[in-house]
């Protein structure tokens, strides 16, 4: 400890007094299309993720952690607004030719933190609108931005568009991106610089990686390194990135004053559309979800259920694994409360403050419900261990409502509706009422 203190002093870390009175720092590392089963600590047999495994060891790892949606844009909407994407007015993906994006009357997490003196930066994939410029991160609470304004596949031949894929620095397109193999390293360098230059101000760093969204690629030092092919290399690069960022926080003596969160925006992209099978993309360039059913773009568990890791030494006890429900929707209220910031009181939030659970002050999650949306359609609700799913199949045929006990049957293999009719009926009523409240579509 003594040695650490000396090191901290030498690297210009905060005095104890300043650290005690200022709000905590927040770092959100957000992978794209990484599956529930892609990390060693979530059971992957060959991909090695020692940094994220250690991060989980040093904090709390959730096994029922949900992204707000099972595709890219609405998932980010939920994380940054604390509201279901339908409620926030952006339930579908945006693209290179989209004008507008997440409605400008939505208040984003960095805007909520700003009054508490935060330096804020977004690095990576934005995907909440970029035309006109009012939709870019620097108009929405982030002091600075470096990254791609939408998905890395939104270029020919995968997507028909005349827009070049460009790297933005704040509000300016600075470079057309061809080779994507160094994106993870580039974002990591920028993140380290941002953390090093943060001085005594609290900071919020939001780092939505481009990877492992197709088309995947990895820097030279990662290629061929994993036993799981190129996809494994890409995940191991993200693990390296997390390790670099955690080391930078530690070097600055900010470990005890920084909450770091790792999650993914949705599950793996299985059953690729034909348009994606070009330019070297392979069907197996995608992740895994262990025994969960479904994948990206579905309301089966493999769609929205993702890794969720929280680390904040001194506040979140190490070596915790929680089967309680939590969601990226909970980040806005959790981080706002931890920062001493105030949420706007003119709107409804769909998140809960997780700190009492993270601190061990309560054993159960404040979240007892999660709703599963596909675009504007509400297809399911989970309450406790029960999940009601009322959806259409891939051929758009209406299915009968089904009821799964996720604690016993996380693979959603056994429909238990007929023997638990009271629970099923009650959840169906709840589903309909919530759809009505949000003016969402619902299966009829
Ligand atoms: Mg995604």
Location of structure tokens 């409605």: 103
Please give the distance, rounded to the nearest whole angstrom, from the Cα atom of residue 32 to the centre of ligand 1: 4
pLDDT at 396: 76
Q: Give 1's pLDDT tier (boundaries 50, 70, 90).
A: very low
Whether 330 contacts 353, CB under 8 Å: yes
Strand 119-123 with 144-147, pairing: parallel
Whether 289 contacts 233, CB under 8 Å: no
Please give the distance, rounded to the nearest whole angstrom, from the Cα atom of residue 20 to the centre of ligand 1: 37
pLDDT tens, position by position, 302-312: 999 999 999 99
Burial 261-277 (b: 16+ CB within 10 A, else e): bbbbbbbbbbebeeebe
List the catalytic residue out of 127, 213, 270, 285. Answer: 127
Greater model confidence, 10 or 211: 211
> Average pLDDT of the chain?
94
pLDDT tens, position by position, 404-413: 999 999 999 9
Location of structure tokens 């780092």: 207
Sequential DSSP letters for 349-372: ------HHHHTTS-SS-S--EEEE
Q: Could you list which residues have their CB under 5 Å from ion ligand 1?
A: 32-33, 72, 265-266
What domains does the chain contain, in order, with CATH numbers? 22-364 (3.40.720.10), 376-442 (3.30.1120.10)
Mean pLDDT of 218-227: 97
pTM score, two decimals?
0.95
Please give the distance, rounded to the nearest whole angstrom, from the Cα atom of residue 153 to the centre of ligand 1: 11
- In degrees, to the nearest 5, what angle opens at C-alpha 341 toward C-alphas 335 and 343? 90
List the catalytic residue out of 44, 72, 213, 270. Answer: 72
pLDDT at 59: 98
Please give the distance, rounded to the nearest whole angstrom, from the Cα atom of residue 253 to the centre of ligand 1: 33
Please give the distance, rounded to the nearest whole angstrom, from the Cα atom of residue 241 to the centre of ligand 1: 18
Whether 184 contacts 218, CB under 8 Å: yes
For residue 74, give the nearest of 299, 322, 359, 273 by alpha carbon.
299
Please give the distance, rounded to the nearest whole angstrom, from the Cα atom of residue 207 to the centre of ligand 1: 13
Residue 8: pLDDT over 50: no
pLDDT tens, position by position, 199-208: 899 999 999 9
Q: Is 127 a catalytic residue?
A: yes
């Amino acid at each position: 400890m003594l040695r650490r203190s000396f090191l901290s002093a030498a690297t210009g870390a905060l005095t104890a007094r300043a650290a005690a009175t200022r709000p905590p720092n927040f770092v959100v590392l957000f992978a794209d299309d990484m599956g529930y089963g892609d990390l060693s600590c979530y059971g992957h047999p060959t991909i090695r993720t020692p940094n994220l495994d250690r991060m989980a060891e040093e904090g709390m790892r959730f096994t029922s952690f949900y992204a707000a949606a099972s595709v890219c844009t609405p998932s980010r909407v939920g994380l940054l607004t604390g509201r279901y994407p339908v409620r926030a007015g952006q339930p579908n993906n945006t693209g290179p030719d989209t004008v507008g994006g997440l409605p400008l009357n939505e208040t984003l997490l960095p805007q909520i933190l700003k009054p508490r003196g935060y330096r804020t930066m977004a690095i990576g994939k934005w995907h909440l609108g970029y035309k006109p410029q009012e939709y870019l991160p620097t108009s929405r609470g982030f002091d600075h931005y470096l990254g791609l304004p939408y998905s890395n596949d939104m270029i020919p031949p995968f997507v028909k568009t005349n827009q070049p894929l460009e790297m933005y620095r704040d509000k300016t397109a600075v470079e057309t991106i061809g080779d994507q193999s160094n994106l993870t390293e580039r974002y990591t360098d920028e993140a380290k610089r941002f953390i090093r230059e943060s001085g005594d101000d609290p900071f919020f760093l939001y780092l939505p990686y481009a990877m492992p969204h197709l088309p995947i690629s990895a820097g030279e030092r990662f290629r061929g390194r994993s036993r799981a092919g190129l996809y494994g290399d890409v995940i191991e690069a993200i693990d390296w990135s997390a390790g670099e960022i955690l080391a930078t926080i530690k070097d600055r003596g900010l470990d005890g004053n920084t909450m770091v969160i790792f999650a993914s925006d949705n599950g793996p992209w299985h059953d690729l559309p034909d348009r994606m099978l070009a330019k070297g993309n392979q069907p197996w360039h995608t992740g895994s979800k262990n025994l969960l059913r479904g994948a990206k773009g579905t309301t089966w568990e493999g769609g929205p259920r993702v890794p969720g890791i929280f680390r904040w030494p001194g506040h979140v006890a190490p070596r915790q694994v929680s089967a309680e429900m939590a969601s990226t929707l909970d980040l806005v209220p959790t981080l706002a409360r931890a920062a001493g910031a105030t949420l706007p009181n003119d709107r409804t939030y769909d998140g809960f403050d997780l700190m009492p659970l993270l601190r061990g002050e309560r054993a159960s999650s404040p979240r007892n419900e999660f709703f599963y949306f596909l675009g504007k359609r509400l297809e399911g609700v989970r309450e406790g261990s029960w999940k009601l799913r009322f959806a259409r199949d891939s051929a758009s045929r209406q299915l009968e409502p089904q009821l799964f006990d996720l604690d016993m049957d996380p693979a959603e293999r056994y429909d238990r509706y007929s023997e638990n009719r009271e629970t099923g009926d009650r959840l169906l009523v709840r589903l309909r009422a919530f759809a009505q409240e949000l003016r969402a579509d619902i299966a009829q």
